[in-house]
Amino acid sequence: MNLRVPGPTPVPEDIRAAGAQQMINHRGPEFAELINSVHSGLQHIFQTKQEVSILTASGTGAMEAAVVNSFSPGDKVLSISIGVFGNRFAQIAEIYGAEIVKPTIPYGSAADPELIKNELEKNPSIKGVLVTHNETSTGVTNDIKSIAKVVKSFDKLLLVDAISSLGCIPLPTDEWNCDVVISGSQKGFMVPPGLAFGVQSDAALSASKTATMPRFYFDFERHTSYYHRGQTPWTPAVSIFYGLDLALKKMLNEGLANIFTRHEKTATKVRSAVKEIGLKLFAEDEQSASNTVTSVRIPESVDAKRLLGLLRTEHNIVLAGGQADLDGKIFRIGHLGYVEEKEIDEVIEKLKVVLPEVGF
């Protein structure tokens, strides 16, 4: 099967085999060695000197962790949402009692740093900003470098959801002054889902000391304090640690810069091919189109369900549909983590076969 959804990505055979190793005592020396190795690999991928909390959870768990470790109920928080996952970030903060300021940004667009500047000027009591680096639901990447400059010029906390971008699209956590950056194992890391990660800047660490949103399972401080003993506070997903350890070694071997270039090349190829077929990208501005997932508008004449159904049942190609309001309006091609050129070629080739069958 050619699995081309934006995560979970296919997992290379050696990483799957690594995950099948026998269990060890998660409070013993073997696990301490494993977590140390994984931790230093993660620091490299996050491009950070800070400690990384490794949670046994989906990416959404890390989103919750980012919020509850940073804020108190009643805090005013600016949500910069450009899609479903941006909305989710805001919803979590709201459920935990934050007061959300949420300008409307049309789906398909990236966030304009000027808009963020205006909102921060209008609302001086804002404590922090939630932003999605790469919005998986629309296939749009935000310009975190510029956004961070604005947010930090107002001395606010910047929380970045990098679930579908980290290890694929550049995001130097420390250099760009991001305060909380989170990610998950099943995207750029080519590992099964089940582990999620969070990094806090010194400013975020300091904010967490007074943040009163309730937290236990997702308390970053419990994770970093146990990390010092070579452990996690709660029983970790050991098999996914095994896979991640090998995946990180492979990534470091390829080199971050090469990985970024590879993703850029693959994405450019996908976008060109899609346009050549006569389809339209959903990203308003191709400059902000994502290098990990390409969203394509479904022409009015085409039945989205039939298109994706035929690709799956007749050609073993699994693409993703649109989520929430975008259901039936777009389809999405994942090209992140473990992806080879021939798999992309196959998607394009079969799109050319199936599209005419469904009314294009």
Q: Quick one: which segment of 18-26, 32-40, 43-51, 118-126 binds a second copy (CB under 8 A)?
A: 18-26
In this chain, which stretch among 90-98, 261-269, 277-285, 339-347 interacts with a second copy, using CB under 8 A?
Answer: 90-98
SS3 sequence of the chain: CEECCCCCCCCCHHHHHHHCCCCCCCCCHHHHHHHHHHHHHHHHHHCCCCCEEEEECCHHHHHHHHHHCCCCCCCEEEEECCCHHHHHHHHHHHHCCCEEECCCCCCCCCCCHHHHHHHHHHCCCEEEEEEECEECCCCEECCHHHHHHHHHHCCCEEEEECCCCCCCCCCCCCCCCCCEEEEECCCCCCCCCCEEEEEECHHHHHHHHHCCCCCCCCCHHHHHHHHCCCCCCCCCCHHHHHHHHHHHHHHHHHCHHHHHHHHHHHHHHHHHHHHHHCCCECCCCHHHECCCEEEEECCCCCCHHHHHHHHHHHHCEECEECCHHHCCCEEEEECCCCCCHHHHHHHHHHHHHHHHHCCC
Member of 42, 77, 80, 92 binding a second copy (CB under 8 A): 92
Q: Is 7 in the site for a second copy (CB under 8 A)?
A: yes
Q: Which of 32, 37, 44, 58 binds a second copy (CB under 8 A)?
A: 58
In whole angstroms, the minimum distance from the beta carbon of 308 to a second copy comes to: 9
For residue 47 the two structure tokens come to 């491009």
Q: For a second copy, which residue of 11, 158, 199, 259 counts as binding (CB under 8 A)?
A: 11
Question: Which tokens hold the place of 281?
Answer: 């990208």
As a whole number of angstroms, the longest Cα–Cα distance in the chain is: 61
Residue 16 as a binder of a second copy (CB under 8 A): the answer is yes
Task: Using the minimum distance from each CB to a second copy, give the nearer residue, 56 or 123.
Answer: 56
Task: Select the residue interacting with a second copy from 51, 64, 75, 135 (CB under 8 A).
Answer: 64
Site for a second copy in 260-279 (CB under 8 A): none
Does position 95 interact with a second copy (CB under 8 A)? The reply is yes
CB of 103 to a second copy, least distance (A): 22
**Least CB distance to a second copy at residue 30 (A):** 9
Of 56, 123, 146, 177, the residue at the interface with a second copy (CB under 8 A) is 56
Residue 260, both tokens: 């970024």
Per-residue string for binding with a second copy, 23-52, x by CB under 8 A? xxxxxx------------------------
For the CB of residue 278, give the shortest distance to a second copy in the complex, in Å: 26
Smallest separation (angstroms) from a second copy to the CB of 228: 17
Chain mean position to CA 237: 20
240 binds a second copy (CB under 8 A): yes
Footprint on residues 70-89 left by a second copy (CB under 8 A): none
Q: Which of 320, 326, 333, 354 binds a second copy (CB under 8 A)?
A: 320
Residue number with CB closer to a second copy (47 or 165): 165
Binding positions for a second copy, rule: CB under 8 A = 1, 3, 5, 7-11, 16-17, 19-28, 56-61, 64, 91-92, 95-97, 184, 186, 192-194, 213-218, 233-240, 312, 318, 320
